[in-house]
């Protein structure tokens, strides 16, 4: 018979998905310790699969690293709580704690992405992630401003304050230079952004 497509074997599809998820999870875990210097062998060992299995699921090492970074960013954005329309200061505090905990987990990866010359496809993917991050800062700024009763468009100074204090690099500065914790970064960010909102709303 010609022109027919064999239906996918659901057991095989599920097995492929489980293995792919295990490899991605191992890559994300290994990258916390080694950043972009992680090797395929280290990832394969953590995932308890062979090197050849990794390359059956990801054509190249860069494809695997891209997928792991994308998964990290997805987890970062998924952690952002939606504003429920009530206490904006409490919402900001919750948001800051979640953001800085996630950023602390990905610290070495963040430094490598910012400081290194990246392969073209990885660089393009990272630019997309940065665009999404800046969009998050703008949306957070608008939400805070209007929830606090600010008139008109939010001031650009507030957007820059939000971006500075919710940036993953702020997390790393607190951890490395201030010998602090993600919680201290969140508390500092919440205090600075809240003060900016009140100051900019003042007549």
Tokens of 49: 């699969």
pLDDT tens-place string over residues 67-120:
999 888 888 888 889 999 999 999 999 999 999 999 998 888 888 998 899 988
Tell me what pLDDT residue 107 has.
84
Residues 6+ apart with CB under 8 A from 203: none
What is the average pLDDT across 53-61? 95
Tell me what pLDDT residue 73 has.
86
Tell me what pLDDT residue 7 has.
56
Q: What pTM, to 2 d.p., does this model score? A: 0.84
Tokens of 152: 């008109």
CATH classification code of 1-68 = 1.10.10.60
Question: Of all residues in the chain, what percent are helix, strand and coil, respectively (each to 5)?
Answer: 75, 0, 25
Give the chain's mean pLDDT: 91
Tell me what pLDDT residue 8 has.
60
Domain residue spans in the chain? 1-68, 79-203
DSSP one-letter string for 37-103: G--HHHHHHHHTS-HHHHHHH-SSHHHHHHHHHHHHHHHHHHTSPPP-SS-HHHHHHHHHHHHHHHH
- Measured distance CA(194)–CA(41) in Å, rounded: 46
pLDDT tens-place string over residues 167-202:
999 999 999 999 999 999 999 999 999 999 999 998
Tell me what pLDDT residue 27 has.
96
Residue 152 scores a pLDDT above 60 = yes
Tell me what pLDDT residue 106 has.
85
Tell me what pLDDT residue 47 has.
95
pLDDT tier at 6, thresholds 50, 70, 90: low
Residues 6+ apart with CB under 8 A from 136: 77, 80, 166
Q: Are 21 and 48 in contact (CB under 8 A)?
A: no
Residue 4 scores a pLDDT above 70 = no
């Amino acid at each position: 018979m010609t022109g027919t497509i064999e239906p996918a074997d659901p057991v095989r599809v599920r097995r492929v998905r489980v293995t792919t998820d295990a490899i991605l999870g191992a890559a994300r875990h290994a990258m916390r310790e080694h950043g972009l210097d992680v090797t395929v062998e280290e990832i394969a060992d953590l995932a308890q699969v062979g090197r050849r299995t990794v390359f059956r699921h990801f054509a190249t090492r860069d494809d695997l690293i891209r997928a792991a970074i994308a998964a990290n960013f997805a987890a970062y954005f998924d952690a952002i709580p939606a504003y429920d329309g009530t206490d904006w200061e409490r919402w900001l505090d919750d948001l800051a704690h979640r953001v800085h905990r996630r950023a602390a987990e990905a610290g070495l990866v963040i430094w490598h992405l910012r400081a290194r010359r990246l392969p073209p496809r990885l660089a393009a993917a990272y630019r997309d992630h940065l665009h999404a991050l800046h969009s998050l800062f703008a949306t957070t700024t608008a939400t805070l401003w209007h929830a606090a009763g600010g008139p008109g468009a939010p001031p650009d100074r507030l957007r820059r304050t939000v971006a500075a204090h919710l940036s993953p690099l702020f997390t790393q500065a607190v951890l490395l230079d201030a010998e602090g914790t993600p919680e201290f970064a969140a508390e500092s960010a919440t205090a600075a952004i809240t003060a900016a909102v009140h100051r900019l709303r003042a007549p």
